[in-house]
Structure 1
């Protein structure tokens, strides 16, 4: 049979070649997962490694798993039939990590990276190690070379951010926060009091903003207002 090639593959399709392909899928998907784990994202090492090796296993099963029922001229199977379903299956996983919070879509990068890990695993198992390694390298280039470059460019779109600000209640403080927001290049879209307090007491407010300024600069502006105890934002580039 075609699966028997110079003793490299066993009749069952379980040989050192398949072990190497599976191992490469494991290493590359684990590398992506480790990077996401270090950056403390929603999905980490275990998720990406599992997706990568799962895609690799499905690909190997699709290529070799039915060799015992193949008969020339009688039974012919498309080796891509199972692998093609990986894309659809991973789509459901990706959809589960995407959500919208106060007009801001979050989880897109996580979903896309899970999709990439599956593609890397499938490529490694399909006998395309160079493409699998290049795809992994491209991810790291995008994460560590392109991403900082993008942050240096002028903002081309408006960001919807929500800040949680704890402050010591005093007259005029909220007005100062609104002024700092405008100076930072954002417009206040809404205010929601989380915890009120009397003069001198600590209160908390959610400030929803829209604009094209630098979120880090605006966070610093809020923190510099006299009386502000803590300031955090719910938006984070993935």
Structure 2
């Protein structure tokens, strides 16, 4: 029995789908590249083009063997693309201490694959909408979310540490490596049995709650006490 193709798919249409993938994933990749992320323009474009190609092959690459006695499931290769992208995304996620970095970049790689698969399936309107919503989320919604007030903006950490041992430098370095920006509000020097100490109010702002910064700070040599306080709380008579 001769095998008769039941689905036709022109090379022109394939080129159009790949071109659409290239343009849309370029927009996604440029956003990551401009932020100097580990996975930038090339990664996202290549992921999108690969996902698009796999989807085209999955849906239209086996037409020569189709017949009455041959049934193919075009979703099988596409399903494996989703699994494979998960491993690639995991490669850009880094965890250091209590800080996890790269989640957004991993999500954009996943998004690029989705855009490529949508293009490969001929669903260009879906691919365009995915890209638009992705860019709106990162360029419009994300900056607005950073302006939303949170409790940490009204709090300071009152840190007491030994003077003259470089403790403040260690405190600020640890906060910076954990993703916090630091602002020194006020300080007061006292004499103690172990030597002079500094009591300093420091405002820390970051993606994590400031309370998560307390345990690692307490482990620093020279840090004697840390208290989380309301910035509007009365000053207990400390001078500036």
Above 0.5 in TM-score?
yes
Counterpart in 1 of 2:216? 190
Counterpart in 1 of 2:82? 87
2:176 to 143, 159, 163: 163
Alignment of 1:55 with 2:51, yes or no, is: yes
Tell me how many residue pairs correspond in the alignment: 183
User: CA 1:51–1:182 in 2, change beyond 3 Å: closer, same or farther?
Assistant: closer
Instruction: Give the greater-gyration-radius structure (CA).
Output: 2
The alpha-carbon deviation at position 30 of structure 1 amounts to: 1.4
2:21/2:49 contact within 8 Å kept: yes
The runs of 5 or more residues in structure 1 that have no matched partner are 166-170, 195-204, 214-238
The alpha-carbon deviation at position 183 of structure 1 amounts to: 11
How far apart are the structure 2 equivalents of 1:210 and 1:58?
56
User: CA 1:67–1:141 in 2, change beyond 3 Å: closer, same or farther?
Assistant: same
The alpha-carbon deviation at position 59 of structure 1 amounts to: 0.4
1:56-135 matches, within 5 Å, as 56-71=52-67, 73-135=68-130
1:30/1:49 contact within 8 Å kept: yes
What secondary structure, in the 3-state scheme, does the structure 2 residue paired with 1:162 have?
Answer: helix
1:189/1:210 contact within 8 Å kept: no
User: CA 1:154–1:181 in 2, change beyond 3 Å: closer, same or farther?
Assistant: closer
Q: Deviations over 1:136-185 (max 9, x none)?
A: 00011001110111111123789xx72269xxxxx889835x42248999
- Aligned Cα RMSD in Å? 3.4
How far apart are the structure 2 equivalents of 1:83 and 1:183?
42
How far apart are the structure 1 equivalents of 2:23 and 2:49?
9
TM-score when normalising by structure 1: 0.67
Alignment of 1:30 with 2:26, yes or no, is: yes
1:179 to 201, 210, 216: 201
The structure 1 segments of at least 4 consecutive aligned residues displaced by more than 6 Å after TM superposition are 171-174, 182-185
1:227-238 matches, within 5 Å, as none
Alignment of 1:19 with 2:23, yes or no, is: no
User: CA 1:210–1:32 in 2, change beyond 3 Å: closer, same or farther?
Assistant: farther
TM-score when normalising by structure 2: 0.66
